[in-house]
Amino acid sequence: MVDEAIVQPNIKEKVEVRKVLYKVVKRLIDILGGLVGCVLLVPITVAVYIARKILKEDDGPMFYEQLRLGKDGKHFKLYKYRSMIIGADEILKEYLANNEEARIEFEKNQKLRNDPRITKLGNFLRKTSLDEFPQFINILKGDMSLVGPRPIVDREVKLFGDKMEIVHSVRPGLTGYWAANGRSDTTYEQRVNMEAYYAENFSFSLDIKIILKTIKAVFEKEGAI
């Protein structure tokens, strides 16, 4: 008869070894992906610079930095191409104060389908997800991973409730289970559940499925903001 006291520790040890191996290999893949992404970032940045000049939307920095919450709840600077006009926060406050329907939508989903802050170029960058491309820098730095829960801002913590701890147990990602499965077509509650699901069930096979779905969604512009 097999001694359960011996079998159970062995199973736990194997699970832990697999987790460590997953994290090491995933980080190596992130570094490789980050390097490739940063190389591609150069011509894309040139194209964005030219487009900003042509559309006369160059009245502010090309890049946008925002503090987001990463692994273990630590803050980091997330990089994006600027897709909003200067003074966007003040414009949002005024817009929500004068538009009850929009205020309810924003409180529920933390975003607006018809956002008055987004520029013409910004709208294109968001629909194609190109606005997120500078985050390959974050991936190379180790702030983010290619796949993981999307990083949030401080005001969103309360919306995650008791699922916040498990979500913050992994690195945030450029794409993730929620981002690849509807994104703008889901409620915030659904987002929370999807992000928590990934954090509890991460694996190489799930990562591959998410990456393939993301590529498909980007080309078909599914769920773009």
Task: Please name the residues in contact with 76: beta carbons below 8 A apart, sequence gap of 6 or more.
Answer: 67, 68, 70, 138, 143, 144, 151
Alpha carbon distance 166, 177 (integer Å): 14
pTM for the full predicted model: 0.86
The pLDDT tens digits for 188-211 are 999 999 999 999 999 999 999 999
pLDDT in tens, 108-154: 878 888 888 999 999 999 989 999 999 999 999 999 999 999 999 99
Strand ranges inside the chain, DSSP E = 63-69, 75-81, 145-147, 173-175
